[in-house]
Amino acid sequence: MQNVAPETALARRSRNVLLGALVVALFGVLALSIGGFMFGVALVVPDNPSFPTYDLARRVLLGIGGLAFVIALALTIRALTWKTDNILAEAIGAELANFLDKRYIYIRNVSKRQLGYLDAVLVGTAGVLVFRITPKQGIFYNEGTKWMLQKDKGAWQTLSWSPTDEVIDDIKKVRQYLQSNGIEDAQVFGVIVFTSPSPQTIITAQDNTVPIAQVETLEEKLDSNYLAKKDRHDVATVSKIAQILYR
């Protein structure tokens, strides 16, 4: 199995975002310069009936300039902190390599505008498998898309966080993205993986919508779901899907 991350593509996107931040910052400088000039040089006197419009225009320009600088700062931070790999996903890939052959390509840290961020995607003859990987610890209960966490003294807390909802959304996005790139019949699945083993993390599931695994049960869970049929896609389709997601 190939275990890869599109580091070059992610670095290129980071540079593009940084360039965008520079353009926005230059626009902000222009707006602030014009607004400041309009305050420094009274082109319209206060007694002129047009002065309220003139005053509003220079204030708006200053506001736009300030907002542009805030946006430029946010874009710069995003570009400089853009992750080019996911350590947890890399570890899961190493585990998958123990039981998957060369027909499978595991792509970590997928980040695209149309998809958002995906921890990892496995592409193979069995189909496309989207991963939601979490290091969270505790005693969890899952039913459908709802999740609960056991608190002190056995009490249960309903969580607003639902990895099931997240991975279902990821599956839909991946399917739509592949369709927009010419893959009409992609078989897309999902799995939630908790990286902490028992007893740090214990999960009880009933009527779970998406398979849930821990590292030690990953092969077993995939064998009963994603890997239950290993010829959903031919090798040529696998290669095409991998290229679409990797680039």
Q: How many CB atoms lie within 10 A of CB 108?
A: 26
Tokens of 101: 């052959």
pLDDT value of position 11 = 65
State how far the Cα of 105 lies from the Cα of 149, in Å rounded to an integer. Answer: 34
pLDDT value of position 56 = 92
pLDDT value of position 41 = 86
Mean pLDDT of successive 10-residue stretches along the chain, which has 247 residues: 75 76 93 91 86 91 94 86 77 95 93 89 97 96 95 89 96 97 95 94 92 95 95 94 92
Residue pair 38/31 in contact by the 8 Å Cβ criterion: no
pLDDT value of position 78 = 77
pLDDT value of position 112 = 87
pLDDT value of position 84 = 62
Domain 85-246 has CATH 3.40.1350: yes
Q: Write down how long the chain is.
A: 247
pTM score, two decimals? Answer: 0.75
Give the closest residue to 57 by CA, choosing from 81, 87, 31, 95. Answer: 31
pLDDT value of position 80 = 76
pLDDT value of position 116 = 87
In this structure, the strands spanning 138-144 and 116-124 are unpaired
